[in-house]
Structure 1
């Protein structure tokens, strides 16, 4: 059996067991209210954590150069290449 297939079967089993365990915890256990509260907290914390991460990334990433500045740099490089090509032709 390939390793990928074994990992896939393992994930399938873990997923099904997790669903059954979670269903029992929510509907039949004495801790059902706590499990629901914990689930809601983890879900909200995950969403807000991702939101905070995106905000941090936006706040700390430098803005990109304006297109005009990039165009000027490209034009300067093209002029340099043209001058090198002309000087290379004149020495031949």
Structure 2
């Protein structure tokens, strides 16, 4: 029997593996594999492939900028450290 953490790990692994396979199949085999079963009207395979690349790039770009903004906010709102002389004088007076 696996623990709860291991079960969650396996679920995460399986979901990621299915998404990876679906992404690759949709990106490279849309016209041969998916389009015959899924009628999207005027949507062209190139449009699907473009958004399959553009969406993760946009998400990654926004995530990197959000992390940079968070680091900048943290640096901007953190008070400066006390000078070393002040810390040393406190330790010598004790």
Give the TM-score, by structure 2 length: 0.73
Other-structure match for 1:4: 5
User: Unaligned stretches of 5+ in structure 1?
Assistant: 79-92
Other-structure match for 2:39: none
Equivalences, count: 77
Alpha-carbon distance between aligned partners in 2 of 1:43 and 1:26, rounded to the nearest angstrom = 18
Q: Quick one: higher RCO (CA 8 Å, sep 6+), 1 or 2?
A: 2
- Which whole-Å deviations, capped at 9, do the CAs of 1:21-52 have from their partners, x for residues lacking one? 12123223331101211111111111111011
Structure number with greater Rg is 1
* Match among 36, 39, 52 for residue 35 of structure 1: 52
What's the RMSD between the two structures over aligned residues? 1.4
C-alpha deviation, 1:7, in angstroms? 1.6
Alpha-carbon distance between aligned partners in 2 of 1:19 and 1:68, rounded to the nearest angstrom = 56
Give the TM-score, by structure 1 length: 0.74
